[in-house]
Amino acid sequence: LHVTDAQNINEICVLFCRAPLSTDTNQLSGLLLNEGNGDNGDDNGELKITQKIDWDRRFDLMTQHSAQHLVSAVALGEFGINTHTFSLGDEKLSYIDLIIDESWDKDYASDIFIKIEQKANEHIRNNLPMTPTWLDVDDPLFETKVRSRLLPEGIMGPIRLVEIANGDIDMNTCCGTHVKTLGQLQMIKFFRMEKVKPTIFRVYFAAAKRLMDVMNDMYNNQASLTSMLSCQETEQVQRVTQLLEYKRNTTIEMKNLREKLCASQAKEIVEKCKSNNHVAVVDVGEDMDMAYMTMLSNAVMEQIPKEENILLFVGGSDSFLLVGTPQKIDENGKKIAELMEGRGGGKNGKYQGKAPKIRTALDDVEMFLKTL
């Protein structure tokens, strides 16, 4: 069983566990009822439980939590900025929400937090001690020096604190695990910073091994981009900007070409409708999507009466678009789709859908359309 959480419920320590996927119901019930046997039990049938700390995870959480203490202490001590909330985040970045003045814009706040980052790393380089201690809530020092909040009303006696530099940098109520010295954090780096509310500024950060992992991922990504873009690291932004500009120009050019193609095809379809009993079945090709078929149908319908003609367009991904006389389309759209072994939906003279055998059934569909 893997312990995932522990809570104090009615003064009883309750462990929340996750059993291996291979554990069946009877086996799990036996564990819960203390019916130990075999390798899991002693001679009296008592269940033996072996607990093992996942030290890599424990140390990771210790370093991120300790880094938060340090950042919060520097923010408050140097700039009077209080911490609102904190999250260990995912396996990459943690974040701290800090309370700022509503008048601060993002640039002004970012400048201040760069200074906080620099000061925090100065303390790390000095390898200041981080130690637990206890202090009675009635001690005058508790009111003047301890950084704390939300203590239960009426609490009495000594409270566990965590100090940085013997309380010169920080003295905060906390029951968590922490590093012995700030040098174990190695370094703190702020990444994304954003104003999530008028008075809340969120700072994403990493320290210790998490920071090493993030930097390693960033380097590998940059190396991959350098290879893909065939340029130096310092040229990546310029190269991506060029590619985006090329894409924008190409998109505009393609749009203009599609409009010209649409106008040319529309003329041909109009003539076909006039000579083919007001019916036209048009295969626009596998490369054309529903957007193009819609644009083409609109161009055709601007030139011929919608009430007298029926058009079927076939495009890529087995898609089709049926437009024309509203009554005929609404009454026969489903049947036409079934002739192509497909399905779709629509109303008011427009029916669209998909059909796997769309191109092999076009002749039969055209003959049916002529009978309407």
Beta strand 310-314 with 279-283 is parallel
Q: Can you give the pLDDT at residue 31?
A: 56
Q: Can you give the pLDDT at residue 295?
A: 93
Mean pLDDT value across residues 276-301: 91
Q: Does residue 113 register a pLDDT over 70? A: yes
Q: Does residue 166 register a pLDDT over 90? A: yes
Confidence of residue 221 (pLDDT cuts 50, 70, 90): very high
Task: For the chain, give the percent of residues with pLDDT over 90.
Answer: 63
Mean pLDDT value across residues 223-228: 94
- Report how far Cα 365 is from the mean position of its chain's Cα atoms: 46
Q: Does residue 186 register a pLDDT over 90? A: yes
Q: Can you give the pLDDT at residue 47?
A: 54
Q: Which long-range contacts (CB under 8 A, 24 or more apart) does 175-179 make?
A: 176/62, 176/65, 177/58, 177/61, 177/62, 177/65, 178/62, 178/65, 178/66, 178/69, 178/130, 178/132, 179/62, 179/63, 179/66, 179/130
Q: Does residue 115 register a pLDDT over 90? A: yes
Q: Does residue 8 register a pLDDT over 80? A: no
Mean pLDDT value across residues 291-308: 87
Confidence of residue 15 (pLDDT cuts 50, 70, 90): confident
- Weakest mean pLDDT among 27-31, 167-171, 222-226: 27-31
Q: Can you give the pLDDT at residue 35?
A: 43
**Arithmetic mean of pLDDT over the chain:** 88
Q: Which residue has the higher pLDDT, 50 or 121?
A: 121
Q: How does pLDDT run across 46-90, given as a tens digit for each residue?
A: 556 667 788 999 999 999 999 999 999 999 999 999 999 999 987
